[in-house]
Amino acid sequence: MRQIVTVLLFSALGLPASGQSTALGQSVDDADPRALPPGGLDFLNWESPHVHPMDMTPDGQFLLVVNTPDNRLEVFGLSSGGPVWEASIPVGLDPVSVRARSNREAWVVNHVSDSVSVVDLAGERVRATLATEDEPADVVFAGQGRRAFVSCSQANRLLAFDPEDLGAPPERIDIRGEDPRALAVSPDGKQVYVAIFESGNSSTILGGGIEMGVLNTLAYPPNVVGEEAGPWGGANPPPNSGAGFHPPMSAGLPSPPAVGLIVKQDDQGRWMDDNGGDWTAFVSGDQAAMSGRREGWSLADHDLAIYDTRDGSVRYVRRLMNLCMALSVNPVSGRLYLVGTEALNEVRFEPVLNGRFLRVQLAVVSADPERTSVVTDL
């Protein structure tokens, strides 16, 4: 949808849409976004999420800040001890990340334009625009030759550009996770870390609200919560506090409707509900077909992808949290720090949650991802 609207918007301006007239990754001269029709344009709020909106040049002389609503890169001088505005450079639509490649060059990721603006800081202009796949989110420089890696959040992919040959098509690296955004690089520059925003938390729904064949409807997922072979003998809704309910049901109410049930995989691989009921046999075991699955079924739950620039391999760190947001690396120890949220979606009934629908968490991942990660509730 965003791509279609973006093309229409550029067409209204008489400008080529990013990626419309060139092959993916091909360098093109940037059209001047300041060349607006008389009266300008009304502000369009895309609500694009910031990922890395500020950066400093390596010499510490300039602070670079994306001006998302005005589609510009703001440059502040730092030589006087505090930030002093020096330049405003037009880039693409909704810049969300900026990284300084050198003291003279910065790369700006434009979330709605599906592009990266390569900015000449000394000349205060965009010298090249690189078309990307859908909704790019961040950029880092790593590996031999310091290639530029761009996360494309809707395509679930990394693109690797050669900064010395901007006309060359990028290498495409598939990420097995939904919505990769924030990026970071190991201290030795050999590994690229990718935070997968919508990574999930190993929870899934079991059908239970509609019986097969009712109203000529084929329910899916099938009604397994009401099966007598289940941990609660077919009781639906299942109890959430021992053999009963908390809070207790008020006397005189009619029988509650049958419902589906969210279960979550624990560290032993068992699929458990919020009352300790074990549904493993119906999710991944020998009775998985009863819930519409197959034996051995599971969820990836990839929170962090690690791309090795030397051999092109990708491995994953799991079971950290639900939504993976900010990502940083300790330049000395190499440990990764990931901040995000963990949903409590398997817990039933609002009074039980008492307003705690999610938790904000910090995960500390060793430089050796095979070692145990430590997750702290913030």
Residue 356 has a pLDDT of 83
pLDDT for position 66: 98
- 149: which 2 tokens? 């890696």
Is residue 36's pLDDT more than 70? no
CA 68 centroid distance within chain: 19
Token pair for 201: 């938390």
Instruction: Output the pLDDT for position 132.
Output: 98
- Per cent of the chain over pLDDT 90 is 75
| Structure confidence at residue 355 (pLDDT) | 82
CA distances from 174 to 87, 156, 157, 177, 305 (A): 37, 6, 5, 9, 10
Please state, in angstroms and rounded to a whole number, the distance separating the CA atoms of residues 125 and 97: 17
Q: Is the pLDDT of residue 73 over 80?
A: yes
pLDDT for 251-267, tens place per residue? 899 988 889 999 999 98
Least confident window among 187-201, 208-222, 238-252, 332-346 = 208-222
What pTM does this model have? 0.85
User: What's the pLDDT score for residue 372?
Assistant: 76
The reported pLDDT for the residue numbered 274 is 96
- Look at residue 40 in the predicted model and tell me its pLDDT: 55
**Overall average pLDDT of the 299-307 stretch:** 94
Residue 145 — pLDDT band, cuts 50, 70, 90?
A: confident
Q: Is the pLDDT of residue 7 over 90?
A: no
User: At 41, is the pLDDT very low, low, confident or very high (cuts 50, 70, 90)?
Assistant: low
- In angstroms, the CA 13 to CA 139 distance is 28
Measured CA angle at 171 (ends 169, 172), to 5 deg: 115
Distance CA 83, CA 356 (A): 39
What was the pLDDT predicted at 24? 59
pLDDT of 369: 64
Q: How confident is the model at residue 350 (pLDDT cuts 50, 70, 90)?
A: confident
pLDDT tens digits, 170-196: 999 999 999 999 999 999 999 999 999
pLDDT at 219: 67
What mean pLDDT comes out for the span 122-136?
Answer: 97
Distance CA 323, CA 285 (A): 28
Q: 227-236, pLDDT tens digit by residue?
A: 999 999 999 9
pLDDT of residue 357: 84
CA distances 320 to 176, 210, 368, Å, are: 16, 34, 15
